[in-house]
């Protein structure tokens, strides 16, 4: 969890070798009703993360829907300096949540499910998810991004 994960070989992505792994990660994410999951969280020290915000989760949490997907070797950089502070939790830090400032808008660069290079700008809660998951691949958890730990508290998510 605290180590920087290794790059995935694009040839392995193109050959479809990672498909079973991606399916497993999406299944695990669903099982915990998460909106993202990164390799290091499932003892896989690779720069990979999956994401999805299903309709029922989007409604319950008041966040935008997001189709299921995966990125490899992804990095982000802020677009502008504006930040938004919002509530976050993490499957690897169970039962806790806290307020985390994140860049409102970021540019993501990485590889998609076919190993093709992707560059995209995202904002709002989608940008938050991507920042949280890419942080995992660099050995960070959201607690590292909290300037004020007094907002850390127990969540009641059963």
Decide the pairing of beta strands 66-78 and 83-89. Answer: unpaired
Cβ–Cβ contacts within 10 Å for residue 45, how many? Answer: 14
Nearer to Ni ion by Cβ, of 32 and 114: the residue is 32
Residues with a catalytic annotation lie at: 133
DSSP symbol at 79: S
Cβ–Cβ contacts within 10 Å for residue 84, how many? Answer: 15
Binding residues for Ni ion, per CB under 5 A? Answer: 90
Quote the tokens at residue 85.
Answer: 């502070």
Cα 41 from chain centroid (whole Å): 11
CB of 14 to Ni ion, least distance (A): 28
Nearer to Ni ion by Cβ, of 90 and 134: the residue is 90
CA 31 to CA 22: how far, in whole Å?
Answer: 14
Q: Which of 27, 64, 63, 47 is nearest to 135 (CA)?
A: 47
Nearer to Ni ion by Cβ, of 50 and 90: the residue is 90
Residue number with the smallest Cβ distance to Ni ion: 90
CB of 140 to Ni ion, least distance (A): 10
Nearer to Ni ion by Cβ, of 98 and 115: the residue is 98
CB of 92 to Ni ion, least distance (A): 5
Sequence-separated (6 or more) residues with CB below 8 Å from residue 25: 37, 39, 42, 48, 50, 70
CB of 90 to Ni ion, least distance (A): 3
């Amino acid at each position: 969890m605290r180590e920087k994960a290794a790059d995935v070989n694009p040839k392995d992505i193109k050959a479809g070798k990672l498909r079973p792994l991606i399916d497993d990660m999406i299944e695990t994410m669903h099982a915990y009703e998460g909106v993202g999951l990164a390799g290091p969280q499932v003892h896989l020290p690779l720069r990979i993360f999956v994401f999805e915000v299903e309709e029922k989760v989007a409604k319950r949490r008041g966040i935008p829907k997001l189709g299921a997907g995966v990125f490899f070797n992804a990095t982000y950089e802020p677009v502008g300096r504006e930040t938004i502070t919002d509530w976050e939790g993490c499957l690897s830090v169970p039962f806790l949540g806290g307020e985390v400032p994140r860049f409102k808008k970021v540019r993501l660069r990485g590889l998609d499910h076919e190993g093709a290079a992707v560059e995209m700008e995202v904002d709002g809660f989608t940008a938050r998810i991507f920042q949280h998951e890419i942080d995992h691949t660099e050995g960070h958890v959201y607690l590292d991004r909290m300037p004020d730990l007094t907002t850390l508290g127990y969540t009641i998510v059963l």
